[in-house]
Structure 1
Amino acid sequence: MAMQERIREGTTGAILFDPAVSPQVDDGWFEPEVWREQGALRHQSGGRGGVAIIDTPAGECVLRHYRRGGMVAKLMGDRYLWKGADHTRSFREFRLLGHIAALGLPSAPPVACRYQRHGLFYGADLITRRIPDAQTLAECLAAGRLDGEMAELVGALVARFHRAGIWHADLNAHNVLVTDDELYLIDLDRGRLREPDDSWQRANLLRLRRSLVKLGAAVKGEPVFEETLWKPLIYRYERTLRA
């Protein structure tokens, strides 16, 4: 089912939300302190994005504040150059997540997002539904749960997104969620729709491989990693991509 859109404009920004999920969203939804005062802030972490888990009228959600990474973060922090509402990080990710949900692909459904202008720059936030009882693939690896069977499921997950032409800008083990019933691909910031093509699809997979190796998946040696994890992942990826 297609996601509905409603925009609420203010003097310095705008909120984009799905009225089917919540008929009304205001700026307070994007302020962790507001939820804390209501006893509805369950967890808040710093990190690059500033993520908070909040209990909203639409259910349990994740509130993420957009913040730059790398060297540019020291200069720009959470500021982005204004190029129009449709080009804001929050509006673009919200709409991509809506498209993903309409395709029936497993990700975090969007609830609302906003931008706030500050002269030539803007700041942004995104609210998505929280996926309960989930661990990241990185956490599964650290706990010794990542085996050939799970690797195959990861391969199938990535292939389903690639087959739909969805490019993930930061495909790594922290952005794959694992539950007892399903795997999910999250954090689609800077992701976009592309014509399916072997070059960007392979580059995406290599990014995931580097992430797994960096996190210790090849601690027993590259040949062991290749045979027990990477080959099963690629086998299921290619099989699903051709399905």
Structure 2
Amino acid sequence: MNILTEVHDINTATGTMRTQVFRPATSGQFASIIFYSEIFQLTAPITRAAAIMAGHGFVVLVPEVFHELNPIGTVLAYDDIGKDKGNADKFTKPLEHHDSDTEALVAFARAQTYCNDKVGAMGVCIGGHLTFRAALNPDVKGAFCLYATDIHSNTLPCKQGNDSFTRAGDIQGELVMVFGKQDPHVPAEGRSAIYQQLAAKEVNFSWLEVNAQHAFMRDEGDRYDPALALQMYQSAVAFFHRTLN
């Protein structure tokens, strides 16, 4: 279906968070997906990914994940300067601030006339971690995490005992974890630790490891795998239609 794109500035506990909204260009109420980006924020590949999901009948909200640390509208380049800045932001913003961002996004979605009350989350790289983190919120009924970083290593700032790995058992909705076997950011031992933790905590989750590098979904650069990306979009659409609709 055709889609509309809007920009909203959402109030959060830690400041204004610019969010792009992609939604079906037709009347009705639709389930919402919070789409968490890489460290580079709302790049062209991220907005294209959000548009694909919205075209399948979802309202997709893409927030600036480091809104406290950058001027509104900041998009980092896929180069060393952008990577260094994004990683610095990643290791500066506490997970608790991401939690309050998620709360604000859920409240925003449910206040819109074109949204129903069902909310899911999807994300790539650090956004995969933030999707996992969003699943700790009981309002998030489904979470599709693509090559989520920093869960196994517990390297993101947070209060003691409030890291995502430790709190995996608090996830109430359904979870999908997807990793590339050739991803150096989440090596085999890290993937195994996450799997074992989810199983031990009896989380309702699905697990997929594919032959791909980190960022295989990003439709720019040498690591892009178009066939796998298409498979993941199809899987995510089916997952959200089942868990949210």
Class of the TM-score when normalised by the shorter of the 2 chains: under 0.3
* TM-score normalized with structure 1 length: 0.28
Give TM-score scaled by structure 2 length: 0.28
Instruction: Kindly name which structure, 1 or 2, has the bigger radius of gyration based on alpha carbons.
Output: 1
